[in-house]
């Protein structure tokens, strides 16, 4: 955890010096229970922004991430848009949890939809 904390402090220092950074993506990897979510909450509190955690475990449909097309009667927004609505602000800190547990089915690859969404948002 010391290496992670040092790296996060470096990121916050660079962000303080250069305010034009657009949507950086930090990736925390480790076994369950080591404090990845707590570090994400601490970063959000330090930046003065809201925090939202999205659990992606078991997601096997790309429309679950991207959202359904608006032409359907029961169309639902995707997880990212739903998170923005839940938090109520435009610029929260998102934690995409359990990315390694994304599934794959006939409805498409949710990992590809997630990558496309992250590229679009960044």
pLDDT tens per residue, range 9-30: 888 888 888 877 776 788 888 8
**pLDDT per residue over 23-68, tens digit each?**
678 888 888 888 889 999 998 998 899 999 998 888 877 788 888 8
**pLDDT per residue over 76-103, tens digit each?**
888 888 988 999 998 899 898 888 888 7
Per-residue pLDDT band at 122 (split at 50, 70, 90): low
Please, which residues bridge with residue 77 across strands? 67
pTM of this structure:
0.79
∠71-77-78 over CA atoms, to 5°? 125
Q: Is the pLDDT score of 120 beyond 80?
A: no
Which of 78, 83, 88, 80 has its CA nearest to residue 121?
A: 80
């Amino acid at each position: 955890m010391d290496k992670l904390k040092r790296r996060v402090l470096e990121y916050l220092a660079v962000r303080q010096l250069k305010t034009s950074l657009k949507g950086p993506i930090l990736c925390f990897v480790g076994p369950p229970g080591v404090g990845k979510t707590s570090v994400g909450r601490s970063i959000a509190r330090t930046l003065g922004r809201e925090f939202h955690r999205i659990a992606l475990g078991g997601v096997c449909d790309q429309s679950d991430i991207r959202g359904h097309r608006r032409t359907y009667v029961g169309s639902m927004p995707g997880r990212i848009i739903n998170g923005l609505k839940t938090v109520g602000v435009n610029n929260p800190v998102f934690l995409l949890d359990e990315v390694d547990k994304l599934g794959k089915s006939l409805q498409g690859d949710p990992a590809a939809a997630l990558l496309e969404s992250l590229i679009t948002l960044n």
